[in-house]
């Protein structure tokens, strides 16, 4: 029997939609920080012992063919499964039969490539349903006459449950709304028209590519001929990170050298998400491109600290066998440098966007202040007769808490492994010292308040008042201090990601619409959505293929830059 069509929702309730609309993740809330941190730790510990890429060797090794036409339109979007407003705004544009961009009609892609991080903050069945599948099904509820096909490459957040939910969502050939799915593994190869190929490599959580995956791409590469062009999708923009990590590009160079180049084909374009912005590096004196486009739904990430030029593979890499290094220059970024810098001070509102973070710092400061008060009061009661052992006992809790605060600040400074390690250490120590100094200042204020308190105010009431004020007021000051630290440290590439993660900026979205024409040229249309919609209306009377929800405000899209034309052959 054919599958029954779902009814069109009459309102925006979870019961009508079949999923719960989610707000953008508050990345610096204690629950998210602790939960994500534990998942990262478990993924790193157990991933090497139960890597599902090793187990995928038993799955079909299909090379997908979408090369039967003279030309093909397809889309690339990454980092999609965050808050509903941003995710659905982009999904509704991808689902539209046609987009009018500056008077140029761009038909819907026949393929949709999801370039990584299809769910946030960590992968789960419920997370995919609410943050990815639900919004994309609502954007294209029914398959059109020529249904598009969705392929997905996992990102690090998809890996935090060991890739279990990802494989169940994308590799069982079940449609997601009007999009068909056909991949069987977490990586895939697609034959495109005019001797173009798309290779999507799952290189998460490891510097080495697993043997089954290499075998799959070696088998796929047997179909390549000299002069063929490869569009390589990678899980991270490793090319933009060689200035800090010279070996970041080595796995890509290995893949190129071992899989692609022996066939006489060449990698003409590399695409990646992971960094939540748009950035295009163009080869100096050539036509090859390296493009980051991870602005499909997740919080915005800064562009003003991107390197202006790169050389890949890096001459500073320890890899002895490598291809000839080639220079690339940063040609376009979105948002632009000025806008990115202008958005940075928004981190000062950290406590307003992440109230749980302020409560955490306030509680920690309250415990620290109470321990200091106890130590000082104990010393006073001894009347100057302190012994070294008594002094140590009285001060030990305060010293341990001060050490914990400093240690936590250093760990926070090093939360991004790409930050300069020595600079992060110094920044963390200074931040921790400032937080300890705040606690000491708060303790001095408490003693002043105690000295001048009215006689009618009992000690118990004063203690409660001090605790409440410390948690609320000192917590807000401590959070503001963290915001100031983030703003300053980011100028030295420390905690640059956290400056924007703490703000959860949902605007400045982007995706790519690509076309292979009959002449064999690849044209890339980088599309931006400066502002997402935040108000939606149900459309119960729409056609089956129409999106379930309509924006109350129109979605205004533009090209980030002029279309980029990459010929199939060239340097």
Q: pLDDT tens track of the chain, all 571 residues?
A: 444 556 899 999 999 999 999 999 988 888 887 777 676 666 665 555 556 677 777 778 889 999 998 999 999 999 998 999 999 999 999 999 999 998 899 999 999 999 989 999 888 899 999 999 999 999 999 999 889 999 999 998 888 888 889 999 999 999 999 999 999 999 999 999 999 999 999 987 666 788 899 999 999 999 999 999 999 999 999 999 888 888 889 999 999 999 999 999 999 999 999 999 999 999 999 999 999 999 999 999 999 999 999 999 988 888 778 888 899 999 999 999 999 999 999 999 888 888 888 888 988 888 888 888 777 766 666 555 445 456 556 677 888 888 899 999 998 888 877 778 889 999 999 999 999 999 888 888 877 766 555 555 555 665 676 677 778 888 899 999 999 999 999 998 898 888 998 899 999 999 999 999 999 999 999 999 999 999 999 999 999 999 999 998 889 999 999 999 999 887 6
Residue 509 β-bridge partners: 529
What pLDDT, on the 0 to 100 scale, is given for residue 65? 95
What pLDDT, on the 0 to 100 scale, is given for residue 207? 66
Could you tell me which of 232, 274, 238 has the C-alpha nearest to residue 257? 232
Q: Quick one: the chain helix, strand, coil %, rounded to 5?
A: 40, 20, 40
Instruction: Cite the beta strand spans of 110-195 per DSSP E.
Output: 111-114, 149-152, 180-181, 188-192
The residue with tokens 């200074």 is: 430
Q: By the 8 A CB rule, do 532 and 509 touch?
A: yes
Longest dimension (CA), the chain: 92
First to last CA, the chain: 53
- Residue 246: exposed, middle, or buried by beta-carbon count in 10 A (0-12, 13-18, 19+)? middle
What pLDDT, on the 0 to 100 scale, is given for residue 416? 78
| H or E element at residue 560 | none
What pLDDT, on the 0 to 100 scale, is given for residue 1? 40
What pLDDT, on the 0 to 100 scale, is given for residue 458? 58
What pLDDT, on the 0 to 100 scale, is given for residue 449? 63
Helices (H) and strands (E) in the chain, counts: 17, 21
Domains and their CATH numbers in the chain: 31-335+508-566 (3.60.21.10), 347-500 (no CATH)
- Tokens representing 320 are 């002895």
Could you tell me which of 87, 74, 95 has the C-alpha nearest to residue 129? 87
DSSP string, 217-257: HHHHHTT--TT-EEEEEESS-GGGGTTT-TTTTHHHHHHII
User: What three-state secondary structure class fits 30?
Assistant: helix
- Residue 284 has phi, psi (to 5 degrees) of -70, 120
| H or E element at residue 327 | strand 326-334
- Tokens representing 438 are 């705040």
Instruction: Cite the beta strand spans of 376-521 per DSSP E.
Output: 509-516
- Kindly give the pairing relationship between strand 266-272 and strand 289-293: parallel
What pLDDT, on the 0 to 100 scale, is given for residue 468? 78
What pLDDT, on the 0 to 100 scale, is given for residue 246? 86
- Residue 398 has phi, psi (to 5 degrees) of -65, -40
């Amino acid at each position: 029997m054919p599958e029954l069509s779902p009814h069109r929702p009459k309102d925006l309730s979870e019961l009508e939609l079949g999923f719960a609309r989610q707000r953008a993740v508050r990345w610096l809330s204690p629950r998210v920080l602790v939960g994500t941190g534990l998942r990262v730790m478990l993924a790193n510990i157990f991933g090497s012992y139960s890597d599902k890429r090793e187990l995928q060797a038993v799955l079909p090794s299909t090379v997908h063919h979408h090369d039967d036409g003279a030309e093909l339109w397809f889309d690339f979007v990454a980092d999609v499964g965050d808050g509903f407003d941003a995710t659905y705004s982009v999904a509704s544009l991808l689902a539209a039969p046609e987009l009018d961009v500056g008077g140029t009609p761009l038909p819907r892609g026949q393929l949709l490539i999801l370039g990584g991080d299809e769910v946030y903050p960590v992968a789960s069945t419920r997370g995919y349903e609410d943050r990815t599948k639900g919004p994309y099904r609502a954007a294209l509820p029914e398959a059109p006459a020529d249904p598009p096909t969705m392929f997905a490459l996992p990102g690090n957040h998809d890996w935090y449950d060991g890739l279990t939910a990802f494989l169940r969502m994308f590799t069982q050939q079940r449609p997601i709304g009007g999009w068909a799915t056909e991949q069987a593994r977490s990586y895939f190869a697609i034959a495109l028209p005019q001797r173009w190929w798309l290779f999507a490599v799952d290189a998460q959580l490891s510097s080495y590519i697993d043997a089954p995956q290499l075998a799959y791409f070696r088998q796929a590469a047997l179909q390549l001929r000299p002069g063929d062009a490869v569009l390589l999708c990678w899980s991270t923009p490793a090319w933009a990170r060689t200035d800090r990590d010279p070996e970041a590009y080595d796995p890509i160079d290995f893949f190129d050298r071992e899989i692609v180049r022996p066939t006489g084909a060449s990698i003409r374009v590399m695409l990646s998400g992971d960094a939540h912005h748009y950035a295009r590096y163009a080869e100096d004196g050539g036509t090859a491109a390296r493009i980051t486009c991870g602005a499909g739904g997740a919080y915005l990430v800064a562009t003003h600290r991107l390197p202006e030029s790169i050389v890949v593979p890096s001459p500073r890499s320890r890899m002895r066998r490598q291809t000839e290094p080639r220079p690339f220059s940063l040609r376009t970024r979105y948002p632009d440098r000025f806008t990115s810098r202008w958005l940075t001070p928004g981190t000062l509102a950290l406590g307003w966007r992440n109230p749980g973070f302020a409560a955490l710092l306030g509680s920690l400061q309250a415990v620290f202040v109470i321990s200091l008060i106890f130590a000082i009061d104990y010393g006073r009661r001894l009347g100057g007769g302190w012994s070294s052992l008594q002094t140590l006992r009285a001060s030990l809790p305060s010293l341990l808490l001060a050490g914990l605060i400093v240690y936590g600040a250093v760990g926070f400074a090093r939360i991004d492994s790409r930050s300069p390690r020595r600079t992060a250490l110094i920044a963390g120590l200074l931040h921790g010292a400032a937080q300890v100094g705040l606690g000491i200042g708060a303790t001095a204020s408490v003693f002043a308040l105690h000295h001048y308190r009215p006689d009618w105010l009992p000690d118990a009431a004063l203690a409660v008042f001090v605790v409440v004020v410390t948690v609320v007021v000192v917590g807000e000051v401590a959070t503001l201090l963290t915001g100031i630290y983030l703003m300053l440290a980011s100028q030295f590439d420390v905690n640059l990601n956290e400056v924007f993660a703490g703000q959860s900026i949902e605007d400045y979205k982007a995706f790519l619409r690509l076309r292979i024409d009959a002449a064999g040229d690849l044209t890339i249309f980088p599309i931006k959505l400066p502002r997402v919609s935040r108000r939606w209306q149900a459309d119960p009377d729409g056609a089956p293929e129409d999106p379930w929800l309509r924006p109350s405000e129109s979605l205004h899209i533009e090209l980030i830059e002029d279309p980029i034309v990459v010929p199939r052959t060239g340097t």
